[in-house]
Amino acid sequence: MLEPLAILKKSGFDVTLVPPTKGGWVEADAIKDAVRDDTLLVSVMHVNNETGIIQPLAEIAERLATHQAYFHVDAAQGFGKDIPTLRHPRIDLISASAHKIYGPKGVGTLIVRRRAYQKVPLTALMYGGGQERGLRPGTLPVHLIVGFGVATELALKQAEKRANICRVFRDQVLKGLAPLKPVIHGDPARCLPHVINFSVDGLDSEAAMLALKGLVAISNGSACTSSNYTPSHVLKAMGETEIQGALRMSWCHRTEQVNWAEIVKYLNRVLI
């Protein structure tokens, strides 16, 4: 979300970034305090892509109840997982990606809710044909759209089952890594069950990824920032200090079982 905001700022808009708490979420009252009378848009990430922390969307929506600013939610990480939250009537716009719910890559959606039959004043980024009501020209990739639709139906139907499987797997992860005494980044009580971000004293993230190559695939950030090896701006904003060695693990309801004793053995070999 930061890059589009930077473009808006260059275009002359005032942009206010609201920092998260130590636990990784943004306080609803902090959003309320940051909103001005002339604020046009409030944009919040549904679930953080590095920590898995769920933002308090319902509380933020309530704080915006009497304000005219449009409320946009980047739901890439939470769409199809934390479903009830996204049904809040105060949310005006929701963006999501198919591959995050195991649909095809290369297709996403922007869900737009009218206000009393009034359209949200959106401006096209590209121009050409009249597809997508003039907002997104070009021949529609029907196969990708259908795949996204099917993936959405399955996510809704299987949401609780998938979540339960991921919770069990998360418990196994925490139990398996316990001998390393990991420091978990973000409030576990507010985290989706398929992501964990942690550090281990004396463990370098690059060394850990190399040590575990061939056993499991882990990262020191999200796939969105895989080309950038600077310390996580997310963890820095949370006030974390042990971020150079931070690792991110994620899984899904189809992830195979892992020999965590083997993982710990290999990580112990690269501890400083």
CA-based torsion, 193, 28, 232, 185: positive or negative:
negative
Cα 22 from Cα 247, distance rounded (Å): 17
Active-site residue 224, yes or no? yes
Quick one: tokens of 158? Answer: 């299987």
Across the beta sheet with 247-250, the strand order is 183-184, 195-199, 247-250
Among candidate residues 17, 85, 51, the one with its CA nearest the CA of residue 196: 51
How many residues are recorded in the chain?
Answer: 272
Specify the residue for token string 């009252």: 29
Cα 264 from Cα 69, distance rounded (Å): 49
DSSP-derived secondary structure for 35-70: --TT--EEEEESB-TTT-BBP-HHHHHHHTTT---E
Q: Is 126 helix (H, G, I), strand (E, B) or coil?
A: coil
Long-range contacts of 111-114 (CB under 8 A, 24+ apart): 113/89
Residue 250 near residue 206 (C-beta atoms within 8 A): no
Residues designated catalytic? 224
